[in-house]
Structure 1
Amino acid sequence: MTTFDSTKASLKDLLREIKMGEIQLPDFQRGWVWDDDHIRDLLVSIARSFPIGAVMLLESGGEVRFETRPVEGLENEISKAKVPEKLILDGQQRLTTLTQALSLTEAVNTRTAKGKKIKRHYYFDIQQAVDAPHSLEDAIIAVDENRQLRTNFGRDVQLDLSTPELECQNLHFPCDHVMSSDDWESTLHAVAPDQFGMYMNFRKQILQPFRDYQLPLILLKKETTKEAVCLVFEKVNTGGVQLSVFELITASYAADGYNLRDDWFGSKVRNVDSRRKRLESDPLLEGIEATEFLQAISLIYTHNRRQSDISEGKTGKQVRPVSAKRADVLQLPLSAWEEWADPLEKGFRQVGSFLKKECFYKRRELPYSTQLVPLAAIMTQLGDRWLEPKIYDKLTQWYWCGLLGELYGGAVESRMANDYEEVLNWIEDEEAIPRTVRDANFQPERFDTLRSRLSAAYKGIHILVLREGSKDWFWKASIKELDTEEIALDIHHIFPRAWCEKMNISKDLYDSILNKTSISYKANRKIGGEAPSDYLPRIQNEKQVAMDNAKMDELLLSHALSPDLLRSDSFHEFIEDRRKRLSQLVSKAMGKPVSQFSESEDYGDDDD
C-alpha cells in the first residue's frame, strides 16, 4: 500500500487553505528565515512561470500527532483551537514567503543579505514589467513598512505608495493584491483611467501566471509512521539543519499537553527548572544532549517491555528487542518520560560519581559521551547497588574495555542496547560475560599510532597514568591535584622534540603517546629542548625542588617511565620499556591480558 499521493495544487488554493488554518506547520519546523533577495527571486520565478519545486504535506488525524502552529504572520488570525487538515513538511520557506507577500497586508518581516532585520512591502513597477518582461527582477520594488522608499539615510521620500491612490498614480501594483485585484482596479479606473490599457497587459503577463500557477504536491497519508515522517523531513529539508529526535518528540508530546522543551531547558515564564542545567552542575555532564537522555530512557523502557513480553509467554519475533535506535526512541510514549526521567536523572548523576572514582574530572577528558548512555541506564536500574564491590568491579571492567577497545565510536546504538542488557545479566550471572568485555582488544602496536589527544584510547591511557598517582616534576603535588587547582598542565614530550630531531629520530616515533606525559607548564619550561640526562639534574638542583636521585626516580616511576633509560638517553630502549609499562596499565584496567606482542618485542609473560 502506497503511503503518499503525487498530484498538483494551485498556488491560489494553497494560500487560501493556509490563511484559513487548514494547512499549518508541525511545531518541530524551524522559523521562517528567507531574506529580501530570496523573496524577490521567488516572486519573479512565479511571474515567469518557472518551477519552484514541489511541496510536501502530511495528512493530519493519523497515529502521528504533533503540536501545530499557523504559518508565520497568521498567529493572530487563526484560533489555537483550529485543527489543521494538513501539515507542511517541505516547502515552509516558499509557502510562508508567498503567504506573507501575496496574502497579508502587513509588511513582511525579513532581513537583508547581511542579516539586518527589515520590514518590506513588495510591488511590481507596471511600466517596467510590461516594457521588459524578461527583466522582471528590475520591476520588483520593495518599500518600507510605511509603503515608502526613502533615500539620504531615510530623510527624503523618493517614492510614496502609502495609499491606493498613490499606488495607482505611480503605476506600482501591490503584491498583496495579486490574487484578487478588483478593488485596486476600481481605484485605478478612477485615478488614472488612461493607464488602464497598460494595466490590462500587466494583468495578463504578470498577474495571470500567479493565479494559474500550479505546484507539484506530494501528500503523505495519515497512516505514515513517525519515523518515516522524520526521515522524509530530513531528506527534503533544504535548510540544511538536521531535525533532532528531541524536536520531533517535543512536538509529539506537546499534542498531549506536555512541554518537553520546558522540562529540558527550563522556563522562567512558567517557573520550570531546567533538567539539563541540573545535570550540568556536574562538570562531567556538561554538554549532555537531550537525545542521549532519550536514548537512555529508550533502553530502560524497551528492556522492561521485553521482560513483559517474555513473562507473557511470547517467543521469537513476538519479543520486542531492547533498543536505543532512532525509530524506537521516536516511539517513546509520554508515559515513559514521565515514569523514568527523574530516576534517570539520578542515574546520570551516579555516572558522574562513578567517573570521578575512575579519575575523570572534566567533560573534555571523557573519551566517549555515547558510553555514558547505557551506563546511566544501568545505574538507574541498579540504584545504590552500583557501589557494591563485585558490581563496581564489573562496571569498571566493562567501561575500560569499551574505552580502550575503542568500541564506542561511530554508530553505536546496537552496542548500547546489547551492553545495557548484557551488563545487567552479568551482574546476576558470573558466566554471562558481555560481548564488549569479551571482544575488547588492545594491540601494543596501537601505542605507536596514538598521537592525537582527542582519540579515545589516548585519553584513556592518560587517565590510567594519572590513576597511578603521577606527580609533577616541579610542583610538590600530583598531576590530579594540580589539575583540580587549575594549575596550567599539558601533555609534553619526555624526550624533547628538538633533541629528537637533532638525533634524526623519526617524528612517528617521538610524537606518539609512548614519549609523552602530563606535567605542569613550569616543569616543561625547565626541560627545554635538551636530553633527559641534562634536564633531570637541572630540575633536581632547582632551589624550589632540591630533590635527590631516589626521590626523582620515584617521581618518574609514577609516570610509568624508566629512570635509568632516561638518565642514559636511551631513546629506543625507553620507548619499548614504556610500551611494556603502559601495556600493564591497560591490562589491569581491562581485566585481561593485552594482545601478544610481536616477535621482536620480548617482554615475557603478559601477566608480569
Structure 2
Amino acid sequence: MASSFHSNDKSISEVLMSISKADVQLPDFQRGWVWDDYRIKALIASISNSYPVGAVMFLEYGGDNIRFKYRQFTGVDFVAKPDKLVLDGQQRLTSIFCAMFSKKVVKTITEKKADIKRFYYLDIKNCLNPQIDRVDAILSIPEDRKLKSDFGRKIDLDLSTREKEFEHHMFPLNIVYDLMACNTWQNEYQKSHKYNPDILERYARFTVDVLVLIQSYKLPIITLDKAIPKEAVCQVFENVNTGGIELTVFELVTATFAADDFELRKDWEKRKEALNKQSVLSNVTATDFLTSMTLLTGYSRHKNRGAAVSCKKKDVLNLTLEEYKNNADQLADGFLQAAKFLQEQRIFSERDLPYSTQLIPMAATFTLLGSKVHDSTVKRKIARWYWCGVFGEMYGGANETRYALDVTGLISWITENGQDPDTISRSYFNPTRLISLQTRLSAAYKGVMALLLKAGCSDFISGSAMDFTTFLDENTDIHHVFPRAYCEKKGYKREKWNSIVNKTPLFARTNRILGGNAPSEYLNKIENDSKVIAADLDKFITSHKIDTAIIRIDDFDGFFVNRAKKLLDLISIAMGKTISNRDSEETIAAFGDKL
C-alpha cells in the first residue's frame, strides 16, 4: 500500500514565497491567527539561532476527497486557488510571514491581549553580543517606528526613516528574505557610515552569524496526499493540534459545504435557536444533528440499495449538501417531536435527561416515521425502547453502532412487526443497581425520577400533580424521604439512605418544611401547619410509591425494602421485561429481604 504522505525539508524563503502567491493557504476550519508579540519574537530568535521550531504539515488540495473552502494567510492579498492547505503550522508560518516577509505592519497582541501594531528589527550590535539573549536583541517597534516613554512624551528610539535605521544599527526583519532589498540596505548602511572598517567588519559577522542562518533556515515539511480520506484529515488534525482547536466533524463538513457557498454554521445557528426553546434539547450539538442526519440518509440508502446503515465519522463526512438541504427541516422537526415525547415521559429539562445521546437515533426515527409517531401503539413501542436504553444503561459509551442498530431495528419492529431492537433485547437491570444509584450523574437515577413523575406523584402539601408547568414553576428537585440529618443521627448506612430508594421529587417549599426531622414528625407538622387532612396526605405520599403506614412509624428498613419493590415494578413495566434476581442471595444481602 502506497504511503499517504511524504516528507522533506524546504527553505522558509520558498515556503513564504508560496504563501505570498496563495499557492499555500489555510482550510476554512483553521482558527484565526492569535500569537502575541513575545511569542513572535521568541520564534524569530529560534530561527536566527538555527534552533528547530517543529515540523509543518501540508495537505495537497484538489483531489476528489478534499474539497474544503480555503482562505489566505493574514497579510496576503494575492487571490488564487491553492495547491496545498496547512493542517499544522498556521501560527508559526503566519508569524514568520507577517514579521519577516510582508511589508505591512504586524497586527498582534500583548501578553495581556491588548491589540498592538508592530514592525520587527534586529539590533546588529546585540545580536553579536554573546552575553545578550537573542530574543532581547529583537525589537518590537510601534507602527510609527518610534519607541516612546513618559506616556508618549519622550522618544527613546526613532526608526522612522532608513537613515535612522542606519544610525541606530537596526536591521528591518521584513526584508530578510528579499535578497535584493538586503543588499541595497547593506550598501546604503555602509555608505551612511562612510565605510567605517569596524562597521564593515561587524556587519560581515552579522551576515554570517545571523542573516545567513535565517535565510538558509529549512523547515521539515510533511505533505499529505490529496487522495487521503476526510476522516484521516480530521484524525491527523486532532493529533497535531493538541494545543489548538478541536476539529469536529461539523468543522470539516462546514468547510466542505462552504466550497459550494453554503454556510452550514449560520444554518445550524438558526436551527439551534429553535431547538433551544425546548429545554430538553438545549445541549443538542451541531455534530449530534449531523450524526442524526447521517442515520436518516443512511436508512434511505439502506431501503433503496440495501447498504448498511452507519454513522461513524467517515459516514458523517460523506454527507452531501443535497442530502442536508433535502432533510434538514424534517430532521429539525424530528428533534422537536422527540422533545414532546420526552415531556410525555416526564423528562422536562436537559438536566433531567438520562442520555442526550439517545436523542440522536430517536430524532432520526421520528423523522422516518412521520405522522405514525402520533399512533399510541407506535408511541408505546418507542417508549419501551427508550426505557430499555435508560435502565439498561446502553448509551453511555461509543454509540455509533448502537445508533444504527436501533434505527433499523426500531423501524422494522414498528412498521413490519420485526424482531425487538438490539437495545431492547440486550437491556438488563440488576435489582442491586438501585442502591448504587446515588446521584443524578447516572442515567438510571434520572430515569427512576421520571417514572415517578409519570406515575402521577403529587406534592406532599398541595397535592398538585408534578406536570410540566408545576415542575418548573415550583423548582422541583430530588430530596430524601428519610432526611439526611435524621439518617446520620440514627447511624443508617449512607449507601442506603442516599440511594434512589430513599429519594423522591418534591417542590422546593415542601422540602424546606420537611427539614431534618423523622417522617413521623414532618408528617404531623404538615397536617397541623398546612391543614392537610391525614387521608389526603396518605394519598399524596402513596403516589410516590411510598407506604405511609411504614414511614409514619419511622421504620427505615421496612420502608427501604417496600419502596425498592415498587420501584422495580415501575422499571419492569417501563422496560416491558421481568426483572430477574429479585430473590437472589445478592439481593437479599443488599436489601435485607427479597424484592
User: 2:118 is matched by which residue type in structure 1?
Assistant: R
1:530 is matched with 517
Q: Deviations over 1:327-358 (max 9, x none)?
A: 11011111211211111112111112211221
SS of corresponding position for 1:72: coil
Check the 8 A contact 2:346/2:468 in 1, yes or no.
no
Moved more, 568-577 or 142-151: 142-151
TM-score by length of 1: 0.93
1:162 is matched with 160
Q: In 2, distance between residues paired with 1:431 and 1:18?
A: 59
1:251-290 matches, cutoff 5 A: 251-265=255-269, 274-290=270-286
Q: In 1, distance between residues paired with 2:489 and 2:291?
A: 52
Q: In 1, distance between residues paired with 2:151 and 2:558?
A: 75
Check the 8 A contact 2:31/2:245 in 1, yes or no.
no
2:305 is matched with 309
Q: 1:84 aligns with which of 82, 85, 88?
A: 82
Cα deviation, residue 186, structure 1: 3.2
Q: 1:407 to 1:375 in 2, by over 3 A?
A: same
Cα deviation, residue 117, structure 1: 2.1
Q: In 2, distance between residues paired with 1:502 and 1:279?
A: 47
Q: 1:510 to 1:7 in 2, by over 3 A?
A: same
Q: 2:349 aligns with which of 362, 365, 387?
A: 362
Q: Deviations over 1:545-599 (max 9, x none)?
A: 2122211111111111111111111111111111111111111111111232143
Query: Does 2:12 align with 1:27?
Result: no
Query: Does 2:388 align with 1:401?
Result: yes
Q: Deviations over 1:76-125 (max 9, x none)?
A: x122xx11111111111111110011111222222222222222211111
TM-score by length of 2: 0.95
Cα deviation, residue 450, structure 1: 0.7
User: 1:217 is matched by which residue type in structure 2?
Assistant: I
Q: 1:594 to 1:458 in 2, by over 3 A?
A: same
Q: In 2, distance between residues paired with 1:373 and 1:6?
A: 41
Query: Does 2:489 align with 1:502?
Result: yes
2:444 is matched with 457
Q: Deviations over 1:43-93 (max 9, x none)?
A: 11111111111111111111111110011122xx122xx111111111111
Check the 8 A contact 2:348/2:468 in 1, yes or no.
no
1:582 is matched with 567
Query: Does 2:67 align with 1:48?
Result: no
Q: In 2, distance between residues paired with 1:133 and 1:235?
A: 39
Q: 1:245 to 1:481 in 2, by over 3 A?
A: closer
Q: 1:473 to 1:156 in 2, by over 3 A?
A: farther
Tell me the C-alpha RMSD between the 2 structures.
Answer: 1.9
Q: In 1, distance between residues paired with 2:302 and 2:94?
A: 45
Cα deviation, residue 482, structure 1: 6.1
1:318-397 matches, cutoff 5 A: 320-397=307-384
Q: Deviations over 1:226-268 (max 9, x none)?
A: 1111111111114343101111011111112222122112xxx
Q: In 2, distance between residues paired with 1:573 and 1:175?
A: 83
Cα deviation, residue 167, structure 1: 1.2
Cα deviation, residue 474, structure 1: 2.9
User: 2:60 is matched by which residue type in structure 1?
Assistant: E
Q: In 2, distance between residues paired with 1:420 and 1:582?
A: 29
Q: 2:537 aligns with which of 505, 528, 552?
A: 552
- Percentage of matched positions with identical amino acids: 40
Q: Deviations over 1:157-189 (max 9, x none)?
A: 211111221111111111111112123223313
Query: Does 2:75 align with 1:73?
Result: yes
Q: 1:452 to 1:201 in 2, by over 3 A?
A: same
2:246 is matched with 242
Q: Deviations over 1:510-534 (max 9, x none)?
A: 1111111121222222222221111
2:104 is matched with 106
Query: Does 2:474 align with 1:490?
Result: no
Check the 8 A contact 1:188/1:196 in 2, yes or no.
no
Query: Does 2:416 align with 1:429?
Result: yes
Q: 1:427 to 1:481 in 2, by over 3 A?
A: closer
Q: 1:224 aligns with which of 228, 243, 257?
A: 228
1:410 is matched with 397
1:117 is matched with 115
Q: 1:198 aligns with which of 198, 202, 210?
A: 202
2:460 is matched with 473
Q: 1:511 aligns with which of 478, 498, 501?
A: 498
Q: In 2, distance between residues paired with 1:485 and 1:420?
A: 32
Check the 8 A contact 1:109/1:120 in 2, yes or no.
yes
1:176-195 matches, cutoff 5 A: 176-180=174-178, 181-193=182-194, 194=196, 195=199
2:579 is matched with 594
2:527 is matched with 540
Check the 8 A contact 1:474/1:522 in 2, yes or no.
no
Q: In 2, distance between residues paired with 1:434 and 1:9?
A: 56
Check the 8 A contact 1:148/1:157 in 2, yes or no.
yes
Query: Does 2:46 align with 1:59?
Result: no
Cα deviation, residue 133, structure 1: 7.1
User: 2:549 is matched by which residue type in structure 1?
Assistant: D
Q: In 2, distance between residues paired with 1:259 and 1:196?
A: 58
Cα deviation, residue 430, structure 1: 2.8
Check the 8 A contact 1:498/1:529 in 2, yes or no.
yes
Q: Deviations over 1:16-35 (max 9, x none)?
A: 00011000001111111111
User: 1:156 is matched by which residue type in structure 2?
Assistant: K
Cα deviation, residue 427, structure 1: 0.8
1:269 is matched with none
Cα deviation, residue 481, structure 1: 5.6
Cα deviation, residue 478, structure 1: 2.3
Gaps of 5+ in 1: 266-273, 311-319
Check the 8 A contact 2:283/2:356 in 1, yes or no.
no
SS of corresponding position for 1:131: coil
Q: 1:482 to 1:275 in 2, by over 3 A?
A: closer
1:137 is matched with 135
User: 1:88 is matched by which residue type in structure 2?
Assistant: V
Q: In 2, distance between residues paired with 1:391 and 1:525?
A: 41
Cα deviation, residue 149, structure 1: 1.4
SS of corresponding position for 2:545: coil
Moved more, 58-67 or 150-159: 150-159
Q: 1:215 aligns with which of 179, 200, 219?
A: 219
Q: 2:406 aligns with which of 403, 410, 419?
A: 419
Cα deviation, residue 429, structure 1: 3.1
Q: 1:567 to 1:308 in 2, by over 3 A?
A: same
Q: 1:120 to 1:182 in 2, by over 3 A?
A: same
Check the 8 A contact 1:565/1:574 in 2, yes or no.
yes
Cα deviation, residue 454, structure 1: 2.3
Q: In 1, distance between residues paired with 2:184 and 2:407?
A: 69
Cα deviation, residue 366, structure 1: 1.0
SS of corresponding position for 1:492: strand
Q: How many residues are aligned here?
A: 583
User: 2:17 is matched by which residue type in structure 1?
Assistant: R
2:124 is matched with 126
Q: In 2, distance between residues paired with 1:104 and 1:421?
A: 57
Q: In 1, distance between residues paired with 2:479 and 2:499?
A: 11
Q: In 2, distance between residues paired with 1:498 and 1:432?
A: 50
SS of corresponding position for 1:29: coil
